[in-house]
Structure formats: structure tokens, C-alpha cells
Structure 1
Amino acid sequence: MTMTTPRAHATGVPGYSETWPSEPETAGRARKLVKTVLHTWNIDGEVVDDAVLITSELVTNSIVHSKCRLLRLSVTRPRRDLVQISVTDKSRTEPEHRDAGPEEESGRGLMLVRALAGNLGVELRSFGKTVTAELEVPCRRASSTVVGPTGGK
């Protein structure tokens, strides 16, 4: 399969999105896309780690439970202090929170997402659903040193 370059949104809020086949390898592609986008926006640290984990869980849920052929990942920044990670598929079945037992190896994904995300929502659409998690981005203090295009001050 040929890897394509993620498409930036032409208008509106900053964002990137990509449509991929609903297969296990897609979770890795999605994690790389989110990490790259956040670094492009100069976001690092714990926010990146949380965003990568949230992405992995949302994409994996779509792959395992939707039984759809494709899914779409979108990463947007509607405000300077907020990142949204969305996964869209053609299933209208909403993700279910369940209480996994201590011996179970799966079933904790949405619990993790809810713990990390400031908001988790599901939007049912005529063609399927979009699951969106929001992460707050701590504002950095502006540096007093401004570096110009040649590396000087």
C-alpha cells in the first residue's frame, strides 16, 4: 500500500486528516500522524503522549467494532489551547463503556480516553458516526528572545 501525505484543511481551523483502511496497521499510521501534527504545532511533552494514546484507542475501537472498510482520522486545533482528535467511520453504533475485569486484556480503552481527554463525544450522522476527544494544551509563556530567519536576534 502506498502511504499518502496527510491533507491539511484548506480553510477554517488548523487541521490535518487522512482516510485509511480499517486494518490493524492503521493504528500505527494514526499515531505517527498525530505525533507529527502536534510537533508541527510546537506541542510537546505529556500532551503528545496523551494524544497518541487517545488516537490509538479511538482508531482501534473503530477497527475492531465498526466492521467498516475505511476510517477517517482528523486532528484539529480550534483554539490555541485545545486539540481535537476525531475518528469517523460508517457505523452508527456508539462506543460502549464497559467495566473490564482484572483478568481481561481488553475493554479499558474508553476508560483511558475519558481519563485523559477533557471531553469525549459521539456525533451520530446519517452515514455513520464521529468520535471526538479533546485535549487541553497548556499555554507557554512567550520568550523574550525572538529569533529571526537567519538565526539571529
Structure 2
Amino acid sequence: MTGGRGRAAAAQPTGPQWCIDRYVACDTAPARARHDVQLSLRAWGLDHLVDDARLIVSELVTNAIRHTRTGAVGVSVTRLSGHVRIVVTDDSSTLPARVPPAADAEAGRGLQLVDQLATRWGSQPLPTGKRVWAELPTHG
């Protein structure tokens, strides 16, 4: 990913490819994270994953900012054998929960969207917060 304090690994023809960055928890973080994940996927020749990955990143980063008191959000994307894993970390220990929104609610469907787009997703507590991850297959 570009800019910021994170490190970007050079894309390699074999082995895992990854990028990671941290964003201040503010209104511009989801857009910056979407852009950086898009750049990584395009550099890896995975253009067909860009739209779904952007939506997943947007939802997970927005949830981290909106539902926690975190000061920063970490985002990584890793290309592994057969799939791409997107990980969002924050310093809140509260794990995400799928709560069905009211039929007329204008928000609250983010995790349902992640569930529909990702082949697998989940969350894990960390000593300093949590990680929420989602996977997309690299083959069409």
C-alpha cells in the first residue's frame, strides 16, 4: 500500500504477496483503505477482485471506526495460494456480531454484505484488540 507508516512488500511471482498499512480512525480512512487495497490487487493482476474487496474493506473499516473507540485501524491484504485474505485490526476487544437490522433501517447490513461476498470470514481476539478477516478466491 502507499504512503503512511506501513511497509509494502514487493510483488513476487511466487509465494505470498502482502501489503499492510494503518489509518487514523477518521471519516477518510475507509476511502484510503479501499484505494490502497485496489492498488495492491491490480498490481497482482487480480482486477476481478477489486469491486468485492473494496466493499469488504469499506464495511470492515467503517465498522471498526463507527463501533469502537479505536484511534487507528490496520488493514492488510495478502495473496495466498488460491485466495486473498483481507484483515482489519483495531484496539477494541469487542468482536463483531451479526444483528439483523430492522426492515426499514438505513444501516446495519455491512456484515451481511461481507458474508455474501466472502467465501469465508471471521474475527479473532488479539492481546491488543481484534482482527476481522475475509477471504476471496483468486480464481474466477
**Which residue of structure 2 lines up, in the alignment, with residue 90 of structure 1?**
91
| 1:19 Cα deviation from its structure 2 partner | 0.7
Larger Rg: 1
**Which residue of structure 2 lines up, in the alignment, with residue 4 of structure 1?**
4
Unaligned runs of 5+ in 2: none
What TM-score, normalized by structure 2, do the two folds share?
0.90
Residue-by-residue CA offset, 1:124-147 (whole Å, 9 max, x unaligned) = 0111100000000116xxxxxxxx
- The answer to whether the 8 A contact 1:73-1:86 is kept is yes
2:118 aligned with 1:117: yes
From 47, 53, 77, the equivalent of 1:75 is 77
**In structure 1, distance between residues paired with 2:113 and 2:6:** 27
Letter in 2 for 1:55: V
- The answer to whether the 8 A contact 1:89-1:130 is kept is yes
**In structure 2, distance between residues paired with 1:133 and 1:66:** 19
Q: Secondary structure at the match of 1:8?
A: coil
**In structure 1, distance between residues paired with 2:50 and 2:33:** 13
**In structure 1, distance between residues paired with 2:64 and 2:139:** 29
Work out the percentage of aligned pairs sharing the same amino acid: 40
Q: Secondary structure at the match of 2:114?
A: helix
Unaligned runs of 5+ in 1: 140-153
**In structure 2, distance between residues paired with 1:24 and 1:96:** 22
- Number of aligned residues: 134
**In structure 1, distance between residues paired with 2:61 and 2:107:** 14
**In structure 1, distance between residues paired with 2:124 and 2:79:** 18
**In structure 1, distance between residues paired with 2:59 and 2:122:** 14
**In structure 1, distance between residues paired with 2:65 and 2:105:** 19
Letter in 2 for 1:8: A
**In structure 1, distance between residues paired with 2:44 and 2:22:** 21
